[in-house]
């Protein structure tokens, strides 16, 4: 019987960050001077990873891909900013990369391109105005709300196939319906939170570096959650490709004549994903010659 390790707990600063940001915002907004406000456009490069059934115990683990995106930031003042952002990143993980023998034997894998749009609030630790030589560096916290779409894929002979339509755990088959295993959604809401750093690099530009996790309400970023489907039913109703991608086990225990109903994943903990991003932002609301003070 498989024993799943305890997944790394996703930090839970969302409520604290939200209260902190709203409290500081309330204390600042009434006394704002218009020249404290500014706007930025930014371009992003980054990468992503996830925590879930195929990467159950380590942050910053997996096979990395380059992602890209952009954002618009409205700086309410030198401490509070709001950001609208789009980012597209791919997460990928393989059981064969694990140090655990049972995972290597399970031999599953996936990749998933996640497209995310988010609205974020930022709180700077120190005063920061983009382009102001007196505010060269600042660290910040952020949180907000995101909407994302995704589609896990599996590889056969180097070719990648969408997994959700295949019903690898019996979704959309008579076997799965009898056990209440339903198809999963390929879009949803997430709660982003994290921290970053801003460094002014000229009179109208800044370099940004940040890390953030996304709490989700799905266990299917990796297409792995519950039990193995009956391969006979899966073959009849979904086809040979579904059977191949549902079960790649190297060696079943002695006496196991079918994997049907045996544990494939851990449905008790939802998946999460994170992005590490580097970006350049450019002030678009003031001329470089603006007097800051």
For residue 182, the 8-state DSSP code is: P
Q: What is the pLDDT of residue 22?
A: 55
**Residue of 177, 147, 129, 22 whose CA lies nearest to 85:** 147
Three-state SS for 218?
A: coil
Res. 72: pLDDT tops 60? yes
What one-character DSSP code corresponds to residue 1? -
Name the nearest CA neighbour of 50 among 104, 107, 7: 7
The CATH topology of domain 14-25+34-151+190-216+263-283 is Porin (2.40.160)
pLDDT at residue 7 tops 60? no
Average pLDDT over all residues of the chain: 89
**Location of each CATH 2.40.160.20 domain in the chain:** 14-25+34-151+190-216+263-283
DSSP lists the bridge partners of residue 41 as 72, 282
pLDDT above 50 for 289 = no
Residue 196 to residue 116: CA distance in whole angstroms: 18
Q: Against a cut of 0.75, is the pTM above it?
A: yes
At 252, the pLDDT band (50, 70, 90 cuts) reads: confident
User: Residue 162: what pLDDT?
Assistant: 98
Q: How far apart are CA 109 and CA 152, in angstroms?
A: 10
Whole-angstrom distance, CA of residue 253 vs CA of residue 238:
26
- With a pLDDT cut of 70, the percent of the chain lying above it is 85
Which of 9-23, 93-107, 195-209 has the least mean pLDDT? 9-23
């Amino acid at each position: 019987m498989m024993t799943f390790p305890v997944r790394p707990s996703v930090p839970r600063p969302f409520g604290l960050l939200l209260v902190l940001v709203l409290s500081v915002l309330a204390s600042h907004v009434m006394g704002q001077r218009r020249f404290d406000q500014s706007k930025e456009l930014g371009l992003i490069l980054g990468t992503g990873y996830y925590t879930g059934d195929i990467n159950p115990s380590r942050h910053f683990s997996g096979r990395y891909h380059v992602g890209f995106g952009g954002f618009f930031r409205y700086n309410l003042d030198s401490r509070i900013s709001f950001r609208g952002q789009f980012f597209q990143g791919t997460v990928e993980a393989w059981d064969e990369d694990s140090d655990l023998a049972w995972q290597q034997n399970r031999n599953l894998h996936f990749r998933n391109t996640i497209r995310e749009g988010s609205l974020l609030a930022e709180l700077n630790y120190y005063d920061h105005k983009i382009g102001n030589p007196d505010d060269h560096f600042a660290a910040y916290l952020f949180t907000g709300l995101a909407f994302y779409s995704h589609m896990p894929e599996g590889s056969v002979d180097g070719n990648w196939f969408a997994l959700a339509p295949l019903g690898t755990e019996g979704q959309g088959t008579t076997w799965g319906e009898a056990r209440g295993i339903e198809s999963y959604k390929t879009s949803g809401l997430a709660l982003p939170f994290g921290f970053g750093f801003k460094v002014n690099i000229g009179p109208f530009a800044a370099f940004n570096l940040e890390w953030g996790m996304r709490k989700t309400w799905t266990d299917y970023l990796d297409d792995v959650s519950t039990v193995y489907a009956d391969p006979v039913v899966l073959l009849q109703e979904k086809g040979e490709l579904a059977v191949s991608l549902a079960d790649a086990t190297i060696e079943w225990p002695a006496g196991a004549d079918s994997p049907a109903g045996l544990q494939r994943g851990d449905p008790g903990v939802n998946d999460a994903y994170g992005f590490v991003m580097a970006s350049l932002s450019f002030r678009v609301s003031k001329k470089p010659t603006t007097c800051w003070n």
